[in-house]
């Protein structure tokens, strides 16, 4: 009589652990796409933050490991992002009111091994930074769409955070994580926001980037500003 409730509790714990393991195995094949869009009077900043779970992280870590010694060095991580940066830039696009605007890399991509420099199924983070001069045709009601063609063969989770400055107000659709299956050839994942109120610059006052609070006069228009590659400091 006393042991029976304990047995039921143990059985419940086993079932719970089985469900957790199944969920963990499911998300091991995913990449999390977190998109941050900030719109001001002069510039729009776009950041794409990717978290690779076990399966896709293992693939990218193996690609970084140039000497195949199962350990990723700082120089290997830097070479990886330098080589892939043009490809990443081509796979992210921005449309405003149906018109594509050419985005410009703001910083070098950042790769973070999250404390583990070994090749294998450990998580991995990659951040991409872009900007574009705010289009003159941005008006209330205009749709602002980020097109994401990064790792099209992977299943993905996605979130969009849209922020406005200089009086700009943006609205997004669903707030929960949308799940994306592998995309069809040439088809992007779409992250949509709507301009409720366009930005308005204050006269005789410089506008700063919301994500990068420096005077916009210093923002590069042709050559992107270099940004150090993020890396596990304990690694060689």
Domain annotation covers residue 23: no
In sequence order, what are the residues at sequence separation of 6 or more whose Cβ sits closer than 8 angstroms to the Cβ of residue 107? 129, 224, 225, 226, 227
Q: Are the CB atoms for 178 and 30 separated by under 8 Å?
A: no
Please state, in angstroms and rounded to a whole number, the distance separating the CA atoms of residues 60 and 57: 5
pTM here?
A: 0.75
Q: With respect to residue 49, please indicate whether it lies within any of the assigned structural domains.
A: yes
- Strand-pairing partners, residue 45, are 38, 131
Express each pLDDT in 65-116 by its tens digit.
999 999 999 999 999 999 999 999 999 999 999 999 999 999 999 999 999 9
Dig out the tokens for 200 from the structure.
Answer: 């308005």
Residue 131 backbone dihedrals phi, psi, to 5 degrees: -150, 165
* Domain count for the chain: 1
**Model confidence at 27, in pLDDT bands (50, 70, 90)?**
confident
Pairing assessment for the beta strands 155-164 and 30-39 based on DSSP bridges: parallel
Q: Is residue 223 part of a domain?
A: no
Report whether pLDDT(211) > 50: no
- Start-end of H helices in 65-145: 74-90
Query: Count of CB atoms within 10 A of residue 46's CB?
Result: 23
Q: Can you give the residue range of the structural domain that contains 83? A: 35-218
* Cα 6 from chain centre: 46
Tell me how far CA of residue 225 lies from CA of 46, 82, 126, 184, in angstroms: 15, 14, 18, 34
- 5 part of a folded domain: no
Q: What is the mean pLDDT of the chain?
A: 81
**Domain assignment of residue 73, yes or no:** yes
Q: What is the mean pLDDT of residues 106-128?
A: 94
Distance CA 51, CA 212 (A): 22
Residue 80 lies in a domain: yes
Length of the chain: 236
Residue 1 lies in a domain: no
Which tokens in the block code for residue 40? 């001001």
Q: Which residues on neighbouring strands pair with residue 162, listed in sequence order?
A: 37
Model confidence pLDDT, tens digit, residues 37-59: 999 999 999 999 999 999 999 99
Classify residue 4: in a domain, yes or no.
no
- For residue 194, pLDDT beyond 80: yes
Beta-carbon count within 10 A of 97 CB: 15
User: Cα separation of 44 and 216, whole Å?
Assistant: 11
């400055």: which residue's tokens?
165
**pLDDT value at residue 9:** 56
């Amino acid at each position: 009589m006393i042991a029976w409730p304990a047995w039921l509790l143990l059985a419940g714990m086993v079932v719970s652990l089985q469900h957790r393991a199944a969920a963990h195995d499911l998300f091991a094949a995913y990449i999390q796409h977190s998109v941050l869009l900030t719109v001001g009077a002069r510039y729009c900043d776009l950041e794409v933050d990717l978290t690779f779970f076990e399966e896709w992280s293992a693939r990218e870590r193996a690609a970084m490991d140039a000497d195949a010694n199962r350990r990723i060095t700082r120089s290997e991580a830097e070479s990886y992002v330098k080589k892939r940066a043009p490809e990443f830039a081509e796979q992210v696009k921005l449309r405003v009111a149906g018109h594509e605007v050419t985005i410009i890399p703001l910083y070098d991509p950042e790769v973070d091994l999250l404390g583990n420099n070994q090749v294998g199924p450990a998580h991995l983070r990659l951040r991409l930074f872009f900007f574009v001069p705010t289009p003159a045709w941005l008006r209330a009601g205009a749709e602002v769409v980020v097109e994401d063609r990064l790792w099209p063969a992977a299943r993905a989770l996605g979130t969009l955070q849209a922020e406005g400055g200089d009086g700009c107000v943006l609205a997004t659709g669903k707030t929960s994580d949308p799940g994306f299956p592998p995309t069809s050839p040439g088809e992007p994942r779409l992250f949509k926001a709507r301009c409720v109120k366009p930005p308005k610059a204050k006269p005789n006052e410089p506008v700063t980037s919301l994500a990068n609070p420096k005077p916009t006069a210093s923002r590069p228009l042709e050559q992107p500003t270099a940004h150090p590659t993020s890396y596990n400091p304990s690694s060689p």
